[in-house]
Structure 1
């Protein structure tokens, strides 16, 4: 299996990746095809696909913020079952993030991820691919070590509609497994930077961030 980085919408594998995104995720989670041009050309955004026999069978997108010493997993997609794609993507991402941290001279403290909460929002079909079932994914991410950041979470729609998207938790994978709190200021800095590309933010998101400013630390809970 090949771990291939996509840096242009003209990459021969990008069309297959975007089709996979649309098949797996709800519309409000998928950036329009032409709007991918700038993110893919951003050196800080890492979009990789898993290629098996010339076909895109999975993908992951992530970033590393050396000034915060944290990473963010934007998404991980498994397109075909029983190929070990999830493990391949996770290990390849780990190695690349270790490289990015090393090159920046920093020691990472953890990684953020938005995780679907099917117990609140109901089950999504997710393209009919069993490994992408939100109940399964949530349990797998719990096994990996992710913890839920304990506050009501919404995010702006990637459809640029200005709507608030619910049904997810913002979670954190701490390097220190015993960590039970993280600074609220870290969450605020991360969210403001991560969603700076979406100028049309819903009032619900703005209120959420403002509420975090008034807090010192936020508890990390099991998922």
Structure 2
């Protein structure tokens, strides 16, 4: 299996990855094909696929923010069971992020991720791929050390239609497993930058940001 970076929508592997995304994720979570052009060309956004015998069987997108020394895992796709795709992607992503932080003269502070909460929304089938089952993924990410940020989370739909998407928790993987809270200023600044590409923000998201701005910190809870 190969860990291959994609930097252009003209890369044949990207079409395979995008088709895999449409099979796995709800439509409001998948950016349109042509809208990927700029993100893929952005050096700060890292999109890698797991290629097995010429097929894209998995993918992950993430980014590193040197000014905050944090990362964000945008998504992880496991397209087939029994190939060890999850560990393969996680190990290569971790190695890459550690190198990026080291180049920045630091040790990575932690990593954000939006994690589906199947106890709130149960209708995500994820293409029928069992390793992508939200109950399974939530447990795996809990084992990796991710913790839930203790506030009600919504995010803007990637359709850029101003709709609020629910059923996810914003989580954080601290490098220090003893860490119990995160500065709300960091959360707000991160979310504002992360969703700056979307012009249409739902009122629920705006109000969420306002509530976070009134806090000093947010508690980290077990998943």
What is the match of residue 217 of structure 1?
217
CA shift at 1:123, angstroms? 3.8
**What are the ranges of 5 or more consecutive residues in structure 1 without an aligned counterpart?**
none
CA shift at 1:210, angstroms? 0.8
Q: Secondary structure at the match of 1:95?
A: helix
What is the match of residue 155 of structure 1?
155
The CA deviation string for residues 189-223 of structure 1, in whole angstroms up to 9 with x for no partner, is 11011111111111110110011000001000001
Q: 1:196-211 to 2 correspondence within 5 Å?
A: 196-211=196-211
**What are the ranges of 5 or more consecutive residues in structure 2 without an aligned counterpart?**
none
The CA deviation string for residues 95-145 of structure 1, in whole angstroms up to 9 with x for no partner, is 110111111222221000000000011141100100000000000000010
Alpha-carbon separation, structure 2, partners of 1:180 and 1:123: 31
TM-score, normalised via structure 2 length: 0.99
The CA deviation string for residues 153-189 of structure 1, in whole angstroms up to 9 with x for no partner, is 0000001111000000000000010111110101001
The more displaced of 102-111 and 71-80 is 102-111
Alpha-carbon separation, structure 2, partners of 1:143 and 1:222: 10
Alpha-carbon separation, structure 2, partners of 1:134 and 1:123: 10
What is the match of residue 118 of structure 1?
118
* Count of residues in Structure 1 that have an aligned counterpart in Structure 2: 223
Alpha-carbon separation, structure 1, partners of 2:176 and 2:105: 19
What is the match of residue 142 of structure 1?
142
The more displaced of 36-45 and 120-129 is 120-129
What is the match of residue 36 of structure 2?
36
Alpha-carbon separation, structure 1, partners of 2:46 and 2:31: 15
Alpha-carbon separation, structure 2, partners of 1:135 and 1:48: 24
CA shift at 1:59, angstroms? 0.2
C-alpha RMSD over aligned residues: 0.6
The CA deviation string for residues 48-86 of structure 1, in whole angstroms up to 9 with x for no partner, is 000001110000000001111110000000000000000
TM-score, normalised via structure 1 length: 0.99
Q: Is the 8 A contact 2:70 2:110 kept in 1?
A: yes
Q: Is the 8 A contact 2:182 2:217 kept in 1?
A: yes
Q: Secondary structure at the match of 1:198?
A: coil
